[in-house]
Amino acid sequence: MIRRAAFLLAFVCGPAAAQTQVELTSRAADALTAAEVRMKGVYDGLAVKYGDDSRERLEKAQDAWEQYRDRQCVFENKGTEGGTIHQMLLYKCLKSQTDRRIAELRRQENCEEGDLSCVRD
């Protein structure tokens, strides 16, 4: 009976909040992975719409952006290097940058007619 009550309580309350740095880091890593999957979906959707030249330019831009994102987050989190919180903060930075990139790619995906900053081929 007590086990069933504990199970029901856990089920109703949902997953417990992370309590350790390892759990917090794991959740940050999972959030980054989910954002990267979303970004790949948007990127792939754009790439199939473009001709060869534009697709190659998109690929080069994405490669350069990934290098920028990674280096920027390493720079921003220099102060926590060697600490237990460092990896979590790095993942959070990478996710934040990835979310911004998704918005940039979606803007290309949903361009209004007459917007000259959008690729149309």
92/111 Cα distance (integer angstroms)? 29
Print pLDDT tens along the chain (121 aa).
555 544 444 444 445 677 999 999 999 999 999 999 999 999 999 999 999 999 999 999 999 999 999 999 999 999 999 999 999 999 999 999 999 999 999 999 888 888 888 887 8
Token couple for 39: 């970004």
DSSP 20: S
Q: How many domains does the chain have?
A: 1
Task: Give the domain CATH number at 49.
Answer: 1.20.1270.180
Query: Where in the sequence is the domain holding 37, given as residue range(s)?
Result: 19-107
> Is residue 97, in this structure, part of any structural domain at all?
yes
Q: Is the residue at 56 inside a domain?
A: yes
CB 54 within 8 A of CB 118: no
- 83 inside domain: yes
Q: Exposure of 109 by Cβ count < 10 A (0-12 exposed, 13-18 middle, 19+ buried)?
A: middle
* 7 inside domain: no
pTM, rounded to two decimals: 0.82
